[in-house]
Structure 1
Amino acid sequence: MADADTRPNVLLVLTDQERYDCSARDGPVADAVETDTIDHLSATGMRFEQAFTPISICSSARASLLTGQFPHGHGMLNNCHEDDALQPNLPPGIPTFAGELDAAGYDCTYTGKWHVGRDQTPDDFGFSYLGGSDKHHDNIDDAFREYRAERGTPIGEAELEDVIYTGDEPRDDGDGTFVAAKTSIDVEETRAWFLAERTIDAIEAHAAGDRDNPFFHRADFYGPHHPYVVPEPYASMYDPDEIEPPESYAETYAGKPQVQENYLAYRGVSGFDWDRWAEAIAKYWGFVTLIDDQFGRVLDELDERGLTEETVVVHASDHGDFIGGHRQFNKGPLMYDDTYHIPLQVRWPGVTRSGAVCDAPVHLHDLAATFLDIGDVSIPETFDSRSLVPLLETGGDPDALATEWPNSTFAQYHGDEFGLYTQRMVRTDRYKYVYNGPGVDELYDLEADPAELQNVIDHPGYADERRELRTRLVEWMDETGDPNRKWVPSVLRAAK
């Protein structure tokens, strides 16, 4: 009889556009928003305080997570479903963590949002897809539409109240983008409930199987991406009158790239006052709590099936959301922490210490290498990611590692439907430098100015920091084969 496979199961719960501060350790937003499940995961595992996405747009970030590469490596530089997609699908044969795990004996399953290829599905990359996608993002199946029809409330027939749209008339659906609303449906009829139910079904199936091989299940929730449409009790859980503007709401855009102010009009929020933002934020927070509660149902299922002690649980988001930060909506060519700083929690029973906090800077796509390391699978040379397992094993202390851990993260952006706009970013615990191809560069002292309101790129007192960060950026571009390394370094070296 062959030896039993003792490698742990892995459950990845990925949310869509969830801000870091909603479940941070402290702060006004974390204190206000109820995230009991994520808080429990942090208390029983490890919270990463400095986790960042390599790019704040859905398809690109999700492709990075899958391939372990920065976007310029896998080539999916913007969203794949739009007509302006630079690359609608991932290149054939590109190594992915799921493909490697599948080949190594893991039973890989997937529920929910995909958005990594116009003509590709999770089945093309080592997963068995179990349903839950939708027409806008992928149209992989109609499972949720059928589910809603069976319950007697087909999609599109629910009553909406407190509706907010972008543009001059916030209650008018004739123009603008749908931002938020209260829906008349029951919680059991939300997509969040449905995806949790499909994930619970997957866990039940794994538990009922022969269990000779470990499983990797990925549950991708839709949300809290806009439109922030939630039922009661979540729709009225947070009172807009009690929500205070973030410090960055005082943004003037003085000394910033012109595209940032342009985005107010482009997104249709130039006329939003604080009352309208507070109303939208209240629905966003309700959406966060709704998903958190469904995540709790999934963890309860692990407990009931006796799988908790043998399952690594990971929660992260593809990127954040402005939702009023810097007075912006959604995301775009603005490399603020609102959209680049992401939540990340990992619980690995027997390995992570309960309540551990890691301050080492990490990337979202470091999870690709981490999953392979957990599964005792070799990491492909194509990966630009670093396994987090050593940090998990040492309580999150980078000084306890055998090799030095990097003290900076990097990111990029290539534009979206507004047009291409090349950006690169390097961030340390204190400073952030942003290279803007068509506009003024940015430099922020995050200790003195955590809201990133003052661009000190031309301040003589920051000359050394500016030079050091530009050097780091050039080195990273060389190390990762960034195509812009052909000409951007000469620009940065010539800059004062």
Structure 2
Amino acid sequence: MADADTRPNVLLVLTDQERYDCTAPDGPPVETPTMDRLSSEGLRFSRAFTPISICSSARASLLTGQFPHGHGMLNNCHEDDAIQPNLPTGIPTFSEILDANGYDCTYTGKWHVGRDQTPETFGFAYLGGSDKHHDDIDDAFREYREERGVPLGEVDLEEELYTGDDPRDSSEGTFVSATTSIDVEETRAWFLAERTIEAIDRHADGDGSPFFHRADFYGPHHPYVVPEPYASMYDPDEIEPPDSYAETYDGKPQVHENYLHYRGVDGFDWDLWAEAIAKYWGFVTLIDDQFERVLEALEEHGFDDETAVVHASDHGDFVGAHRQFNKGPLAYDDTYHIPMQVRWPGVTEPGSVCEQPVHLHDLAPTFLEMADAEIPETFDARSLVPVIENGGDVPDGLEWPDSIFAQYHGDEFGLYSQRMVRTDRYKYVYNSPGIDELYDLAADPAELQNLIDHPDYAGVRREMRERLVDWMDRTDDPNREWVPDVLADS
């Protein structure tokens, strides 16, 4: 009789545009008992960052273990100006390798990594829940809502908020937030949790092979539309402005202030932002409650002791920080710092914290090492298994970078070449069309004062530029050919 396969199952829950601080111990009062439980029972990464703050690019990096300049999906694939609507063929992905190594790979929810590609292109069985705007892979959720008697687009909304000159005018601007009249059971978050539970049920009836399930929630990305009790769970009058709300844009690249107008929120006052934030927090708690349903399903089938559960987000969200909406060519921690927790029974030390800098796409080689599969040389990422097994600390003798590298290439408004390197203390941002940025995160955690020309920080600027060039060199960044000359200090 063949030996039983002892490799762990893996459940990856990826949220869309979730801020790091929502689940941070010193963050705002957002109720996230499930994600907090994951941290208390496993390992929390306090310095996890996305390689790029835009959906398709970040998700492609997670699949391929590469920085965006490596896989080439530099902006959102669904937009008319997409540089690359699909991932190039031939790039290894962690999911295809898992599939080839005996894992039963399933997927529910948001995809957004290709107009003509689906999760099934990359080794997954897709089980439904797509959104028409981004993917339109199936009709499952639309049919579900029709069966419930509340077809999509035919529900009552209250407290609607839009960008533009009139925040209550639905005829213009971008939809920001609202209260919906539907029941919780009719939300996409509930539906995706239900589809994920069905996937777990299916794995329980399988042949005993290890499974990898990926559940991608459509939120808390805007529009922040939630039903009761989540819509009124947080009182806007009790929400205080973040320190970065004092942003003046003095000494910052011009694109920062331009983007305020581009997003249509230059007229928003704090009362409007507080209203949006309250709905955003409610959205986070709604998803957290659905996550709990999924974990309960693992426990009901006895999978909880043999399944590594991972939670992360593709990137963050401004939601009024720096008075900005959504994301863009602004390399602030609001959109680059992401939540990441791992609970791997028998491996993670309960309540441990990893303070080492890590990237979202480091999860790709991590999943492969969990599965005893070979990690491709194409990956510009490192497995997190050594620090996971060592209580969050780097094992003796293992080198680990003390900084992260990130980039941005543009989205709806056009190309914008940007690179960022961040240590625990400093952040340096290279903006090819504008002035560069340098922040002392210890003295100025809100990133309000750009120190790029401050004489007292000349040495720091030089050191951070050297770090950036080193990252670009090690990752074969094509901009490496000319950026060093641009950055050279006189």
User: What is the CA deviation profile of residues 111-166 of structure 1, one whole-angstrom value per residue up to 9, with x for unaligned ones?
Assistant: 00000001100000010101110211111001000000000000011100000000
Q: Does 1:437 align with 2:432?
A: yes
| CA–CA distance in structure 1, aligned partners of residues 460 and 104 of structure 2 | 48
Q: 1:38 and 2:35 equivalent?
A: yes
Of the three residues 390, 401, 406, the one matched with 1:406 is: 401
Q: How does 1:252-271 map to 2 (within 5 A)?
A: 252-271=248-267
Alignment of 1:168-317 (within 5 A): 168-211=165-208, 213-317=209-313
Q: CA deviation at 1:227?
A: 0.2
SS in structure 2 of the partner of residue 420 of structure 1: strand
For 1:236 and 1:192, locate their aligned partners in 2 and report how far apart those are by CA, in whole Å.
Answer: 18
User: CA offset at residue 463 of structure 1?
Assistant: 1.0
Equivalent residue runs for 1:99-118 within 5 Å: 99-118=96-115
Query: Cα offset for 1:168?
Result: 1.1
Amino acid at match of 2:58: A
Is the aligned partner of 1:422 residue 2:423? no
Where do residues 4-153 of structure 1 align in structure 2 (5 Å cutoff)? 4-27=4-27, 29=28, 32-153=29-150
Preserved contact between residue 394 and residue 401 of structure 1 (Cα < 8 Å): no
Q: One-letter code of the match for 2:445? A: P
Matching residue of 2:466: 471
The answer as to whether partners of 1:176 and 1:268 remain within 8 angstroms in 2 is yes
**TM-score under structure 1 length normalisation:** 0.98
Counterpart of 1:365 in 2: which secondary structure?
helix
Paired with 2:258 and 2:366, the residues of 1 have a C-alpha distance of 39
Match of 1:484 in 2: 479
Code of the residue aligned with 1:444 in structure 2: it is Y
SS in 2 for 1:414: strand
Deviation at 1:402?
A: 2.7
Shift of 1:237: 0.2
* Distance in 2, Cα, partners of 1:85 & 1:344: 28
Quick one: which amino acid aligns to residue 462 of structure 2? R
Structure 1 partner of 2:366 = 370
Task: Please state how far the C-alpha of 1:303 moved relative to its aligned partner.
Answer: 0.7
1:432-452 per-residue CA deviation (whole Å, 9 max, x = no partner) reads: 000000000000000000000
Distance 2:90 2:347 in 1: 33
Name the amino acid aligned to 1:334.
L
Task: Give the AA of the match of 1:66.
Answer: L
Q: Aligned equivalents of 1:210 and 1:327: distance in 2?
A: 52
SS in 2 for 1:405: coil
Contact 1:391–1:401 under 8 Å retained in 2: no
**Counterpart-to-counterpart distance in 2, 1:170 and 1:317:** 28
Contact 1:390 1:401 in 2 (8 A): no
Tell me the distance in 2 between the aligned counterparts of 1:430 and 1:284.
Answer: 29
Counterpart code for 1:396: G
CA distance in 1, matches of 2:86, 2:62: 15
Deviations 1:205-240 (A, max 9, x none): 1012221x1000000000000000000000000000
Q: How much has 1:465 moved relative to structure 2?
A: 1.0
2:381 counterpart of 1:385: yes
Secondary structure at the aligned position of 1:491 is classed as helix
Shift of 1:476: 1.1
In the alignment, is the contact (CA less than 8 A) between 1:160 and 1:183 conserved in 2?
yes
* One-letter code aligned to 1:315: H
- For residues 366 and 282 of structure 2, the distance between their equivalents in structure 1, rounded to whole angstroms, comes to 31
- Shift of residue 478 of structure 1? 1.1
CA distance in structure 2 between the partners assigned to 1:487 and 1:69 by the alignment: 22
Q: Flag structure 2 segments of 5+ consecutive residues without an equivalent.
A: none
Task: Kindly provide the amino acid, as one letter, of the partner of residue 174 in structure 1.
Answer: S
Aligned residue in 2 for 1:3: 3
* Partner residue in 2 for 1:449: 444
Rounded Cα–Cα distance in structure 2 between residues aligned with 1:220 and 1:446:
32
CA distance in 1, matches of 2:212, 2:456: 50
Distance 2:77 2:199 in 1: 28
Cα distance in structure 1, aligned partners of 2:58 and 2:467? 22
Q: CA deviation at 1:64?
A: 0.2
1:335 aligns with 2:334: no
CA distance in 1, matches of 2:373, 2:396: 21
Residue 401 of structure 1, CA deviation: 3.5
* Matched AA of 2:84: Q
C-alpha separation between the residues in 1 aligned to 2:86 and 2:478?
19
CA distance in 2, matches of 1:209, 1:94: 30
The question of whether the paired residues in 2 share the 8 Å contact of 1:159 and 1:183 is answered with yes
Are the counterparts in 2 of residues 45 and 352 from structure 1 also a CA contact under 8 Å? Answer: yes
Post-superposition CA distance 1:55-90 (Å, at most 9, x none): 000000000000000000000000000110000000
Counterpart in 2 of 1:325?
Answer: 321
Q: For 1:301, what is the secondary structure of its paired residue?
A: helix
Give 1:454's aligned amino acid.
Q
State how far apart, in whole Å, the 1-side matches of 2:233 and 2:17 are: 20
Amino acid at match of 1:98: S
Pick one of 455, 463, 472 that aligns with 1:460: 455
Paired residue type of 2:116: D
Please give the per-residue CA displacement for 1:311-358, whole angstroms capped at 9, x wherever unaligned.
000000000000000000000000000000000000000000000011
Q: AA paired with 2:68?
A: P
Give the letter aligned to residue 257 of structure 1: P
